[in-house]
């Protein structure tokens, strides 16, 4: 609470030039408007939803510390305002004494309106020294200084109240909406067998539930811990709520929801995917059987050739496929989902390996077939040129043909025989040109 101080200007030198009547009237009008604006702001702060919430909340952490300081600031603000109002009222009383104030009245008005005429008693200055500076028994202010002090306290108090209210307005409602979505996801997860301890997504749901519960309690009790002040902003409440933890929980829930949707998709098309898997593995098995049969033929028909071994049927994949069928039979969709995904990849890889094995095993037969085709093509060429009865060509053709159509066939020797036949044909067709081996098939 403040009171107007003594007026030494009555007998001493006034603070600056003495106001005339018009100047005093204008100053009083300005101070009156300023008084109304300050009162309106203080009442708005008093009725602010954030302030009422702060008064009734069980606060912790940095919010509890700052609210204790802010409460002192608000109390001090009202004390300053009362002193400010009392000084203005006293000035109005002096001005109302006479229609045309005399010199003493103008001296008194000058001291009140311009001098350090307001003395704050010790009861109004028992605040935290961080607010008002070092503790004093009393302090004197001019009305201008008093307004500056009130503006500073008001801005800091409003900043704290607005920041807390902004966090409370933004985060708890969003957390509640996410918690409702989490409950729906948990219910859906349980319906497809995704439970904690049985599926990673179930463990994630438990973790998200705990995080949202903890986050809501912390936001309610310590909102300023979730406030990011705006860079370089001097306006009260400049900044935004810190939603990093909420955003992480929301992203984690989205990941879990996609996992649940994948499990649901498995439940819908599991039988079709299992049929496709059986078909792929069956084709791989048949290809491997063909490769094993071809390997025996190659070993019997081709000599001096390295034929790669052929692996056995994919029994491990067949066993896992049987396990997948059991999962489907017992509606264990959460186990079936990842198993089907891995089986589909591995089954395609197995089919590719089987085809590569068949290609590698039958490569010598393909080489022999190519040599046979080349030999017959050159024979036809010789016939077109009327050289079919040439004894050298007949001899070399018969030698190459016996090698290619005998078993086992030595591919290296047969290839040399075909090459000799080609050379003889080239020599007869182009006697003046040096021979250059080429394929003219």
Split at pLDDT 50, 70, 90, the class of 304 is: low
Tell the burial category of 74 from Cβ atoms under 10 Å away from its Cβ (0-12, 13-18, 19+): buried
Query: CA dihedral in degrees (228, 231, 233, 237; nearest 10)?
Result: 0
92 falls within a domain: yes
pLDDT exceeds cutoff 60 at 125: no
152 falls within a domain: yes
**Per-residue pLDDT, 132:** 53
What's the gap between Cα 19 and its chain centre? 66
Higher-confidence residue: 274 or 250?
A: 250
- Rounded CA-CA distance 250/263 in Å is 20
76 falls within a domain: yes
Over residues 20-74, the pLDDT tens digits come to 777 877 888 888 888 888 888 889 888 888 888 888 889 999 999 999 999 998 9
144 falls within a domain: yes
- How many CB atoms are located within 10 Å of the residue 405 CB? 12
What pTM, to 2 d.p., does this model score? 0.57
The residue written with tokens 């989902």 in the block is: 337
Mean pLDDT of the chain: 80
Over residues 226-248, the pLDDT tens digits come to 998 877 655 676 788 999 999 99
Range of the domain at 76: 2-163
82 close to 123: Cβ distance less than 8 angstroms: no
How many independent structural domains does the chain possess?
1
8 falls within a domain: yes
Over residues 330-374, the pLDDT tens digits come to 767 777 878 888 888 988 888 898 888 888 887 787 888 888 888
Q: Which residues of 365-387 are buried (b: 16+ CB within 10 A; e: fewer)?
A: bebbeebbebbeebbeebeeeeb
To the nearest whole percent, how much of the chain has pLDDT over 90?
18
pLDDT exceeds cutoff 80 at 377: yes
- Rounded CA-CA distance 415/428 in Å is 20
Give the pairing type, strands 118-120 and 2-4.
Answer: antiparallel
User: Which segments of 266-381 are extended strands (E)?
Assistant: 302-303
80 falls within a domain: yes
Closest CA relative to residue 90, chosen from 148, 26, 6: 6
H or E stretch covering 120: strand 118-120
């Amino acid at each position: 609470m403040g009171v107007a101080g003594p007026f030494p200007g009555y007998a001493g030198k006034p603070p600056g030039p003495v106001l005339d009547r018009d100047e005093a009237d204008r100053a009083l009008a300005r101070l009156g408007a300023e008084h109304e604006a300050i009162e309106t702001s203080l009442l708005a702060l008093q009725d602010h939803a954030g302030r009422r919430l702060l008064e009734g909340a069980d606060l912790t952490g940095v919010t509890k510390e700052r609210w204790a300081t802010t409460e002192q600031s608000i109390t001090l603000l009202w004390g300053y305002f009362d002193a400010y109002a009392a000084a203005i009222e006293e000035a109005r009383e002096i001005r109302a004494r006479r229609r045309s104030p005399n010199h003493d009245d103008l001296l008194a008005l000058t001291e009140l309106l311009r001098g350090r005429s307001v003395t704050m008693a010790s009861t109004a200055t028992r605040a935290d020294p961080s607010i008002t500076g070092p503790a004093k028994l009393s302090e004197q202010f001019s009305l201008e200084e008093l307004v500056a002090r009130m503006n500073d306290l008001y801005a800091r108090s409003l900043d704290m109240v607005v920041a807390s209210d902004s966090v409370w307005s933004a985060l708890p409602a969003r957390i509640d909406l996410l918690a409702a979505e989490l409950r729906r996801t948990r219910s859906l997860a349980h319906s497809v067998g995704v439970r904690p301890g049985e599926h990673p997504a179930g463990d994630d749901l438990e973790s998200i539930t705990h995080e949202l519960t903890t986050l809501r309690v912390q936001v309610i009790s310590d909102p300023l811990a979730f406030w990011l002040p705006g860079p370089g902003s001097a306006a009260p409440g400049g900044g935004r709520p810190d939603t990093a933890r909420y955003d992480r929980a929301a992203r984690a829930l989205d990941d879990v929801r996609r996992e649940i949707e994948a499990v649901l998709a498995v439940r819908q098309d599991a039988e079709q995917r299992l049929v496709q898997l059986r078909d792929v593995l069956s084709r791989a098995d048949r290809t491997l059987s063909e490769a094993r049969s071809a390997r025996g033929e190659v070993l019997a028909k081709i000599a001096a050739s390295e034929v790669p071994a052929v692996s056995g049927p994919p029994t491990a994949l067949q066993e896992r496929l049987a396990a997948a069928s059991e999962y489907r039979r017992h509606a264990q969709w959460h186990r079936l989902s990842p198993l089907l995904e891995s089986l589909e990849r591995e089954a395609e890889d197995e089919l590719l390996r089987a085809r590569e094995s068949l290609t590698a095993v039958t490569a010598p037969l393909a080489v022999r077939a190519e040599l046979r085709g080349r030999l017959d093509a050159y024979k036809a060429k010789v016939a077109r040129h009327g050289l079919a009865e040439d004894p050298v060509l007949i001899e070399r053709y018969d030698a190459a043909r016996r090698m290619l159509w005998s078993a086992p066939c030595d591919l290296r020797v047969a290839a040399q025989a075909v090459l000799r036949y080609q050379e003889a044909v080239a020599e007869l067709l182009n006697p003046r040109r040096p021979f250059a081996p080429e394929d003219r098939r």
